[in-house]
Amino acid sequence: MQEQIITTLTSLAGTRIEDEGKARKALAGEAADMTKTLTSYTLRKAMAATADAMPWRLLMEDQEDGEPIAAFLKLRKRLTLQLIGTTSSSSSCMIVNEQDRLKWDGVRRFLQDTGYLVSALEAAEKAAEEPAPEPATEPEPAKPAPSRRPTPAQRKALELIARGGVTRSQFTLKDRERIGSDNGTIYADTFEVLHREGWVTLDSSKPLFQG
């Protein structure tokens, strides 16, 4: 996690400092062209880019101690305290006032752009402190259900079915299904139990009205 955050910080710092370089170069080009008027737009853009890059320059300098994460958190704390205690510039020079305003806007953006990284560090630290979950115990194998034994009436029905000649029929939807046997009586309810238990199979290749 820390390596990823360091990579992200390095990338963000490079982008901000690169933007500052481009804005300064544009301002220098405009100032060097004597045929063009020096505009406040280019000057303000360079000032804003410089203000945005300032916290990142400080971070790159502080990282030279070899503890980039510690330097990052320390810089955020220092800039937060400075931002809380600062007051707006009241200079008689409008440029100085604008420069001061852009400076603290740059600090705010730095704190906003890196807030999620602090949250990620705190979450990783909390996860590391939590005890590892105990290994899940394997559930005991399910005991096989005791096999059911047919009742005397069900056994008698099975014997009749085994002899053959048993049909199941229904002539109309209103009629109850009937079980026909050449050798004895098999009640429909008994047959349903036999079929549900898997003790008999039902041939449904013919419609019920044919049996």
The angle formed by the CA atoms of residues 95, 97 and 99, to the nearest 5 degrees, is: 70
Q: Is the pTM of this model over 0.75?
A: no
The phi-psi region of residue 179 (left if phi > 0; otherwise alpha if psi is between -120 and 50; otherwise beta) is beta
Residues of the chain with pLDDT under 50: 173
**CA 160 – CA 186 distance, rounded (Å):** 8
Per-domain boundaries in the chain = 2-129, 152-196
pLDDT in tens, 46-93: 999 999 999 999 998 887 667 888 889 999 999 999 999 888 888 899
Diameter of the chain measured on Cα atoms: 121
Cβ 124 vs Cβ 1: under 8 Å: yes
DSSP letter, residue 145: P
| pLDDT on residue 198 | 82
- Which residue reads 């852009």 in tokens? 102
Burial group, residue 148, by CB count within 10 angstroms (0-12, 13-18, 19+):
exposed
| pLDDT on residue 131 | 78
